[in-house]
């Protein structure tokens, strides 16, 4: 057989024994990190400044706190009526050993309305890309293939653009509000300037295009400009945007807590963390911030949140976010959904409007309850988007047949042909 499961089972038992010890050590460090975090709860503005001072020189990711660190908010009451749009995407990558250089992006589209006039519209929209400008990015000299992470980024952009189309097709228009609107959650939903019913645009995964952080400028611009236009379009329509991340692994709040352990941070003196000149390391001591090493935000904040509650809002200080997103700077908060701590991301113009934050909190949590722990709209969008193995084989068959009818070469590489044969 191809995989020796008996050999692997011995390794799995060894792994289990090792993980027991690691779990005990990790729990102890979680308690220390959360304790230090809560001690600093009322000094969130101080640590916001410390994060800004440390951003350029720290060796880890950071988040800037926007609210008191110990802030917790119960989920607002679910409105009796609301509408929600969601998208998700999948793809058939370029097959290097295939018959033609092309790829497919399939976007799952969902519109759901709850209340006295419930409705649901589920669909998918596939698109085939095969032209040279689809397959490569160029600045006139270099040609960079659109594959791997860049293909995933293109799919992310198209998911956002599909949300704008869904909004225009199904959601009521509301006046643009470039400045944060004042008022309560109830006033936003029922006041004279409110749309006819609350609405939300929801995506799966992060709103920060991390894969572009180290990309060349022309590559960043190619993908970010249309993505930011999508966020601007949703802002103009008065529809809050959010993304949902299940089992998040981000360490940005953990990075802010590392500053709280750092002996070199002194905001009054304008000093942030400078890892290359760490005083603990210079004294041949293990840096005190290592308490947070390997911990995620969700690990640390889990014991702070009750069911349905969200924690404080933070701004992500990732380089691509700070340098490229402008008015759409991505913020986030954590929310308990059953046994899971989920991460919800929102652009700055949503984070600055408490009523809009409450809309996001209420609707996302309600979607999780309807979906037994995961937003039902995203689950349905995934079902519409997914490309299964049978779909992929059928697509490749269509390509082969079309090439043959057009009397074009239609053959696989020798490597791919060899995988179809079992011979010695």
Is residue 273 in a domain? no
Q: Which pLDDT band, with edges at 50, 70 and 90, does 405 fall under?
A: confident
Q: Which residues contact 321 (CB under 8 A, 6 or more apart)?
A: 208, 329, 330
Is residue 302 a part of any domain in this protein? no
Give the model's pLDDT for residue 411: 58
Beta strands at 119-129 and 136-138: parallel, antiparallel or unpaired: unpaired
CA 292 to chain centre: 22
Mean pLDDT of the chain: 89
Tens digit of each residue's pLDDT (9 = 90 or more) over 263-275? 889 899 999 988 7
Of the candidates 304, 278, 272, 299, the residue with the CA atom closest to the CA atom of residue 290: 278
Mean pLDDT to the nearest integer, 373-378: 98
Question: Looking at residue 421, what is its pLDDT?
Answer: 58
pLDDT band at 110 (very low <50, low <70, confident <90, very high): very high
Q: Compare 23 and 277 and report the one with higher pLDDT.
A: 23
Our count of domains for the chain comes to 1
Let me know if residue 419 belongs to a domain: no
219-264: pLDDT as tens digits: 999 999 999 999 999 999 999 999 999 999 999 999 999 999 988 8
Q: What confidence score (pLDDT) does residue 3 get?
A: 87
Per-residue pLDDT band at 188 (split at 50, 70, 90):
very low
Q: Is the pLDDT of residue 73 over 70?
A: yes
Please give the average per-residue pLDDT across 318-347, as a whole number: 97
Q: State yes or no: pLDDT of 352 exceeds 90.
A: yes
Q: Is the pTM of this model over 0.85?
A: yes
Q: What is the DSSP string of 202-263?
A: EEES-SS-GGGTTS-HHHHHHHHHHHHHHHHHHHHTT--EEEEESS----HHHHHHHHHH-T
Residue 55 lies inside a defined structural domain of this protein: no
Residue with tokens 């995407």: 89
How much is the average pLDDT of 124-131? 96
pLDDT of res. 1: 57
For 315-325, write each residue's pLDDT tens digit.
999 999 999 99
The reply to whether 74 falls in a domain is no
Range scoring the smallest mean pLDDT among 155-169, 299-313, 386-400: 386-400
C-alpha–C-alpha distance, residues 66 and 53, integer Å: 16
Task: Determine, yes or no, domain membership for 216.
Answer: yes
Q: Does the structure show a pLDDT above 50 at 388?
A: yes
| Lowest model confidence (mean pLDDT) among 38-47, 153-162, 183-192, 205-214 | 183-192
- pLDDT at residue 412, rounded to an integer: 55
Range of the domain at 322: 87-249+311-385
Half-sphere exposure of 322 (CA within 13 A, CB side): 14
- pLDDT tier, 93 (very low <50, low <70, confident <90, very high otherwise): very high
Q: Report yes or no: 73 and 294 within 8 Å, Cβ to Cβ.
A: no
Among 160, 330, 148, 284, CA closest to 229: 160
Q: Mean pLDDT throughout 338-349? A: 97
**Is residue 191's pLDDT more than 80?**
no
Determine which of 39-43, 224-228, 402-406 has the lowest per-residue pLDDT on average: 402-406
Which range has the worst mean pLDDT, 211-220, 226-235, 359-368, 372-381?
211-220
User: Region 177-193: what's the mean pLDDT?
Assistant: 45
């Amino acid at each position: 057989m191809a995989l020796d499961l008996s050999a692997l089972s011995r390794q799995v038992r060894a792994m289990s024994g090792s993980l027991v010890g690691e779990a005990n050590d990790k729990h102890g460090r979680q308690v220390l990190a959360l304790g230090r975090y809560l001690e600093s709860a009322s000094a969130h503005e101080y640590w916001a400044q410390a994060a800004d001072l440390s951003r350029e020189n720290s060796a880890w990711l950071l988040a800037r706190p926007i609210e008191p660190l110990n802030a917790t908010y119960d989920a607002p009451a679910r409105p009796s009526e609301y509408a929600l749009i969601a998208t998700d995407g999948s793809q058939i990558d370029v097959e290097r050993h295939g018959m033609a250089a092309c790829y497919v992006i399939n976007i799952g589209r969902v519109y759901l309305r709850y209340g006295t006039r419930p409705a649901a519209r589920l669909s998918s929209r596939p698109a085939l890309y095969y032209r040279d400008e689809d397959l490569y990015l160029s600045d006139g000299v270099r040609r960079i293939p659109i594959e791997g992470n860049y293909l995933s980024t293109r799919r992310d952009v198209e998911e956002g653009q599909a949300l704008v189309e869904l909004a225009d097709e199904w959601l009521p228009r509301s006046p643009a509000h470039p400045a944060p609107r004042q008022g309560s959650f109830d006033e936003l939903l029922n006041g004279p300037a409110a749309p006819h019913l609350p609405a939300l645009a929801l995506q799966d995964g992060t709103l920060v295009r991390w894969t572009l952080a180290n990309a060349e400028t022309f590559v960043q611009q190619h993908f970010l400009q249309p993505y930011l236009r999508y966020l601007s379009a949703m802002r103009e329509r008065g529809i809050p945007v959010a993304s949902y991340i299940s089992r998040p692994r981000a360490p940005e709040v953990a990075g802010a807590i590392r500053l709280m352990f750092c002996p070199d941070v002194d905001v009054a003196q304008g000093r942030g963390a400078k890892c290359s000149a760490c005083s603990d390391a210079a004294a041949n001591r293990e840096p005190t911030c290592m308490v947070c090493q390997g911990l995620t935000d969700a690990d640390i904040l889990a014991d702070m949140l009750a069911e349905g509650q969200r924690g404080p809002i933070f701004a992500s200080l990732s380089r691509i976010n700070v340098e490229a997103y402008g008015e759409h700077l991505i913020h986030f908060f954590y929310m308990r959904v059953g046994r899971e701590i989920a991460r919800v991301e929102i652009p700055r113009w949503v984070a600055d409007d408490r009523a809009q934050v409450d809309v996001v909190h209420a609707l996302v949590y309600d979607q999780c309850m309807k979906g037994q722990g995961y937003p039902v709209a995203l689950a349905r969008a995934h079902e519409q988007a997914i490309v299964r193995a049978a779909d992929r084989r059928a697509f490749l068959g269509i390509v082969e047949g079309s090439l043959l009818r057009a009397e074009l070469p239609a053959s696989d590489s020798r490597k791919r042909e060899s995988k179809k044969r079992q011979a010695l």
